[in-house]
A and B are shown apart, each in its own frame.
Chain A
Amino acid sequence: MMAAAADLESSLELSLTGSGALPGGLPPARSRIFKIIVIGDSNVGKTCLTYRFCAGRFPQRTEATIGVDFRERAVTIDGERIKIQLWDTAGQERFRKSMVQHYYRNVHAVVFVYDMTNIASFHSLPSWIEECKQHLLANDIPRILVGNKCDLRSAIQVPTDLAQKFADTHSMPLFETSAKNPNDNDHVEAIFMTLAHKLKSHKPLMLSQPPDHDEIRIKPEPKPAMTCWC
Chain B
Amino acid sequence: MARWSPPRNGGGGHDFDFKKKRKVEEIYQALNSDPIDVAALRRMAISEGGLLMDEIRCKVWPKLLSVNTDDLPPLPGKELREDNKDYQQVLLDVRRSLRRFPPGMPDDQREGLQEELIDIILHVLKRNPQLHYYQGYHDIVVTFLLVVGDRLATALVEKLSTHHLRDFMDPTMDNTKHILNYLMPIIDQVNPEVHDFMQSAEVGTIFALSWLITWFGHVLSDFRHVVRLYDFFLACHPLMPIYFAAVIVLHRQQEVLDCECDMASVHHLLSQIPQDLPYESLISKAGDLFVQFPPSKLAREAAQQQAERTAASTFKDFELASVQQRPDTVLRQRFGEQPRGEERTKSILTKPRTNRFVKLAVMGLTVALGAAALAVVKSALEWAPKFELQIFP
Q: Which of B199-217 contact A (CB under 8 A)?
A: 202, 204, 206-207, 209-210, 213-214
Asked whether, in the complex, the Cβ of B136 is within 8 Å of the Cβ of A64, the reply is yes
A: residues with CB less than 8 A from B are: 2, 5, 12, 14, 16, 33, 35, 42-43, 61-70, 72, 85, 90-92, 94-95, 97-100, 102-103, 105
Write the B324-346 contact mask toward A (1 if CB under 8 angstroms, else 0): 00000000000000000000000
A61 to B101, CA, bound (A): 13
Asked whether, in the complex, the Cβ of A42 is within 8 Å of the Cβ of B264, the reply is no
Asked whether, in the complex, the Cβ of B210 is within 8 Å of the Cβ of A67, the reply is yes
Query: A70-B267, A102-B204 provided; 7 other pairs, C-beta below 8 A?
Result: A61-B96, A64-B92, A66-B135, A66-B218, A67-B207, A92-B134, A97-B172
Q: B265 — nearest CB in chain A belongs to which residue?
A: A12
Cross-chain pairs A/B with CB under 8 angstroms, 18 sampled: A2-B275, A5-B272, A12-B265, A12-B268, A42-B89, A42-B92, A43-B96, A61-B99, A62-B96, A64-B138, A66-B213, A67-B209, A92-B135, A95-B135, A97-B172, A99-B176, A99-B209, A102-B206
B97 within 8 A of A: yes
Asked whether, in the complex, the Cβ of A43 is within 8 Å of the Cβ of B210, the reply is no
Asked whether, in the complex, the Cβ of B268 is within 8 Å of the Cβ of A5, the reply is yes
Asked whether, in the complex, the Cβ of A61 is within 8 Å of the Cβ of B206, the reply is no
Write the B247-268 contact mask toward A (1 if CB under 8 angstroms, else 0): 0000000000001101011011
A64 to B134, CA, bound (A): 11
Asked whether, in the complex, the Cβ of B218 is within 8 Å of the Cβ of A63, the reply is yes
Contacts of A35 in B (CB 8 A): 264
Q: Which of B111-155 contact A (CB under 8 A)?
A: 132, 134-136, 138
User: A14 touches which one: B93, B219, B260 (CB < 8 A)?
Assistant: B260
Asked whether, in the complex, the Cβ of A72 is within 8 Å of the Cβ of B93, the reply is no
B314 within 8 A of A: no
Write the B144-179 contact mask toward A (1 if CB under 8 angstroms, else 0): 000000000000000000000000000111101100
B189 within 8 A of A: no
Asked whether, in the complex, the Cβ of B173 is within 8 Å of the Cβ of A66, the reply is no
Contacts of A65 in B (CB 8 A): 135
Closest Cβ–Cβ distance, residue B206 to chain A (whole Å): 4
User: B89 touches which one: A12, A68, A92 (CB < 8 A)?
Assistant: A92
Contacts of A69 in B (CB 8 A): 271
Contacts of B221 in A (CB 8 A): 2
Contacts of A99 in B (CB 8 A): 173, 176-177, 206, 209
Asked whether, in the complex, the Cβ of B97 is within 8 Å of the Cβ of A63, the reply is yes
Contacts of B171 in A (CB 8 A): 94
Asked whether, in the complex, the Cβ of B213 is within 8 Å of the Cβ of A43, the reply is no
Asked whether, in the complex, the Cβ of B135 is within 8 Å of the Cβ of A42, the reply is yes
Contacts of B36 in A (CB 8 A): none
B372 within 8 A of A: no
A35 to B263, CA, bound (A): 11
Contacts of B391 in A (CB 8 A): none
Contacts of A16 in B (CB 8 A): 262
User: A94 touches which one: B99, B172, B265 (CB < 8 A)?
Assistant: B172
A14 to B264, CA, bound (A): 12
A67 to B174, CA, bound (A): 13
Q: B207 — nearest CB in chain A belongs to which residue?
A: A67
Closest Cβ–Cβ distance, residue A41 to chain B (whole Å): 10
Q: Which of B315-364 contact A (CB under 8 A)?
A: none
Q: B269 — nearest CB in chain A belongs to which residue?
A: A12
Write the B83-116 contact mask toward A (1 if CB under 8 angstroms, else 0): 0000001001100111100000000000000000
A69 to B209, CA, bound (A): 11
Closest Cβ–Cβ distance, residue B221 to chain A (whole Å): 7
Contacts of A105 in B (CB 8 A): 202
User: Which 8 pairs across A and B sit closest by C-beta, in order of nearness?
Assistant: A66-B210, A67-B209, A64-B135, A67-B206, A5-B272, A64-B93, A66-B136, A43-B92
Q: B138 — nearest CB in chain A belongs to which residue?
A: A64
Closest Cβ–Cβ distance, residue B274 to chain A (whole Å): 10
A137 to B272, CA, bound (A): 31
Asked whether, in the complex, the Cβ of A95 is within 8 Å of the Cβ of B173, the reply is yes
Contacts of B134 in A (CB 8 A): 92, 94-95
Q: A14 — nearest CB in chain B belongs to which residue?
A: B260
A94 to B167, CA, bound (A): 13
Residue of A16, A66, A68, A99 contacting most chain B CB atoms (<10 Å) = A66
Asked whether, in the complex, the Cβ of B89 is within 8 Å of the Cβ of A85, the reply is no
User: B132 touches which one: A64, A72, A94, A103 (CB < 8 A)?
Assistant: A94
Contacts of B219 in A (CB 8 A): 2
Closest Cβ–Cβ distance, residue B315 to chain A (whole Å): 26
A95 to B168, CA, bound (A): 11
A2 to B220, CA, bound (A): 10
Contacts of A92 in B (CB 8 A): 89, 134-135
Q: A90 — nearest CB in chain B belongs to which residue?
A: B135
A14 to B268, CA, bound (A): 15
CB within 8 Å for A98 and B204 given contacts A64-B92, A69-B271, A90-B135: no
CB within 8 Å for A2 and B173 given contacts A61-B99, A103-B206: no
Contacts of B96 in A (CB 8 A): 43, 61-64
A72 to B271, CA, bound (A): 14
